[in-house]
Amino acid sequence: MSKKVVLITGSSSGMGRATALYLANRGFKVYAGSREPDKLKEIESSNLMPIKLDITDIKGVQDALKDIEQIDILINNAGYGLVGSVEEVSEEQMLAQFNVNVFGVFRVCKVVIPKMRENGGIIINISSFLGKIGLPLLTFYNSSKYALEGITDSLRHELKPFNIRVHSILPGFFDTNFARDNLVTNELTFSIHSPYKKMVSTLAPTLIEQINSGNDKIEVAKLILEIIKDKNYKARVAVGQKAKKFIPMRQILSDEEFEDRVENSYNLNRL
């Protein structure tokens, strides 16, 4: 394991930063990608090398990775959440959400897969339990994670002949400052004049409280190491309290029954 080379996107904070440190401290050679690599200077070491990586631009991804000949493990972690109603979100916001959370994953995979094909590798996509659950005001974020689940499933078949494993991690809410740093709110939806103002006042405080009081991000880092070590690890795994509650429930209940549980959990039946 000590000679394995890891690339992590979105490494400047949260799960990405925790995972970069955790793997580097265990002998992996980690390239920690970020649009702001200076934020990683304080943890830079011989095993942890910050690189400037903007996944919204294919040429930028190509340039950032052109001199890295070997990548054994890719962790697609970069992403953010757009909060707003479908009616009120702008075209620019809508496209930006998918440009990062979906097309950014495609861009990095396009560049990294050729570096893996000869000797095999592992791709781990950091999805969300919301990639299996619908919630109002998070339609764009949730659908981007639903898309990531489809990417994971299809890539697993596509890359199997090259001995490249593809996995998905579905975290619940984690204490990563996500609500502060990685949620983008639509101004119209959060206006007192929005027809969705009651929905905002009901759902938003609950979501923010759950995010900020979530599980420790080191749980994700430890799970990633387990996946790396076990070539027979299952394709998809939930981590964190909320994910472990809802994902199994999603598998055994009908759509209608499951949606009733979600509405009860988030007080949506009071709207």
- Domain extent for 72: 5-270
109 pLDDT higher than 60: yes
56 pLDDT higher than 70: yes
Which one from 31, 141, 196, 266 is the annotated catalytic residue?
141
Q: How far apart are CA 233 and CA 96, in angstroms?
A: 33
pLDDT in tens, 2-17: 589 999 999 999 899 9
Which one from 85, 127, 128, 168 is the annotated catalytic residue?
127
**CATH number of the structural domain spanning residue 204:** 3.40.50.720
The pLDDT value given to residue 175:
62
- Over residues 96-116, mean pLDDT: 98
Q: Give the mean pLDDT of the chain.
A: 93
- Side chain identity at residue 152, one-letter code: T
Active site residue 145: yes
Which one from 4, 115, 145, 242 is the annotated catalytic residue?
145
pLDDT in tens, 185-212: 999 999 999 999 999 999 988 887 777 7
230 pLDDT higher than 60: yes
Q: What is the DSSP string of 182-238?
A: SEEE-TTTTSTT-TTHHHHHHHHHHHHHHHHT-B-THHHHHHHHHHHH-TT--SEEE
pLDDT in tens, 16-41: 999 999 999 999 999 999 999 999 99
The pLDDT value given to residue 270:
75
Active site residue 141: yes
Q: Where are the alpha helices (DSSP H) in the chain?
A: 14-24, 58-65, 91-101, 103-116, 139-159, 178-181, 197-212, 218-229, 241-252, 255-265
The pLDDT value given to residue 131:
94
Q: What is the DSSP string of 200-212?
A: HHHHHHHHHHHHH
Residue 178 confidence class, pLDDT cut points 50, 70, 90: low
User: How many structural domains compose the chain?
Assistant: 1
- Over residues 62-83, mean pLDDT: 96
Which one from 11, 12, 34, 168 is the annotated catalytic residue?
12
The pLDDT value given to residue 240:
87
Rg for the chain, CA atoms, rounded: 19
In 3D, which of 153, 169, 188 has the Cα closest to residue 240? 169
The DSSP letter of residue 132 is S
- Over residues 106-135, mean pLDDT: 96
Contact 181, 25 (CB under 8 A): no
Contact 152, 142 (CB under 8 A): no
Active site residue 34: no
Active site residue 245: no
The DSSP letter of residue 55 is T
Q: How far apart are CA 167 and CA 234, in angstroms?
A: 8
- Over residues 200-225, mean pLDDT: 86
Better pLDDT: 99 or 181:
99
Residue 177 confidence class, pLDDT cut points 50, 70, 90: low
Q: What distance separates the 2 farthest-apart alpha carbons in the chain? A: 57
